[in-house]
Amino acid sequence: MNQEPQVDYTRNRKQRHRSSRSKTTLGSRLVSEMKDWLLTAVIVFAVMSVLNVFVFNISTVKGQSMQPTLWEGERLFINKISLLFVNPKHGDVVILHDPSTGPSHKEYLVKRVIGIPGDIIEVRNHQLYVNGKIVNEPYIDTEIEDPDFAALTVESGNYFVMGDNRHASASKDSRYFGSISQDMIVGRADYIWWPLSKLNRL
């Protein structure tokens, strides 16, 4: 008469043991998955950080100095690695450290390369000349409204940059702070990637 309760008791104890073991296994699996997820997240963060420092960056346009090519709030894909292999060339849109000082100083500026080492730059009759020839600039919407300046030669290792906005006092550039050294250039702006409606190569 006492045998059947003993069987039930044994069965219940085995079931409790299996349930406990199942919970332990589930907990261990969750901990293991969390560790894997965290390790993956750390690796991805490290890789993205390295890429961000050495390969590419995303920059947001601030101000009006590059209108009508670039407008405030647009986001640019910045190619950093290309300048390790090739020098900036005429027409490149680049991100550079602001060499100016004072209240208008910014961390970065976006400008267009107008002159490379050895070029002779001048503005005559509100037109841009490089090496004695007038420059065709399809990216601007007005002649240069700021005062003309006499011919100057871009020093070795330096670049002359200007904003595409040629309205009066609209761009703080090499006309204001002089030519810049190559090590001040962070990277080349290759694309507008946001908003998607303006997705375009520069």
Question: CA-to-CA distance for 185 and 95, rounded, in angstroms?
Answer: 6
Concerning whether 111 is annotated as a catalytic residue, the answer is yes
Concerning whether 62 is annotated as a catalytic residue, the answer is no
Question: 23, 49, 111, 156: which one is catalytic?
Answer: 111
Residue with tokens 């090739």: 86
Question: 14, 32, 65, 104: which one is catalytic?
Answer: 65
**Tokens encoding 193:** 């990637």
Question: CA-to-CA distance for 137 and 174, rounded, in angstroms?
Answer: 17
Catalytic residues, by residue number, are 65, 111
